[in-house]
């Protein structure tokens, strides 16, 4: 029971990390394109 619980926590943690990374990457890309079109 315990290893499965840790695995779910690790999966959620990785999913949040991936979301945070992609959110920031797309935000930075949007800012960059916005500066180019100025």
pLDDT in tens, 14-34: 999 999 999 999 999 999 999
29 is a domain residue: yes
Cα dihedral value 2, 7, 12, 17, nearest 10:
130
Band of pLDDT at residue 1, cut at 50, 70 and 90:
low
4 is a domain residue: yes
As for how many domains the chain has, the answer is: 1
The model scores a pTM over 0.75: no
Print the domain residue range for 9.
1-33
d(CA 11, CA 29): 27
Band of pLDDT at residue 6, cut at 50, 70 and 90:
confident
11 is a domain residue: yes
17 is a domain residue: yes
Question: In this predicted structure, what is the pLDDT of residue 3?
Answer: 67
- Nearest 5 degrees, angle CA 29-CA 14-CA 19? 30
Question: In this predicted structure, what is the pLDDT of residue 38?
Answer: 75
6 is a domain residue: yes
23 is a domain residue: yes
38 is a domain residue: no
């Amino acid at each position: 029971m315990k290893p499965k619980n840790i695995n779910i926590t690790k999966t959620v943690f990785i999913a949040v990390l991936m979301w945070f990374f992609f959110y920031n990457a797309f935000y930075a890309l949007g800012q960059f394109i916005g500066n180019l079109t100025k």
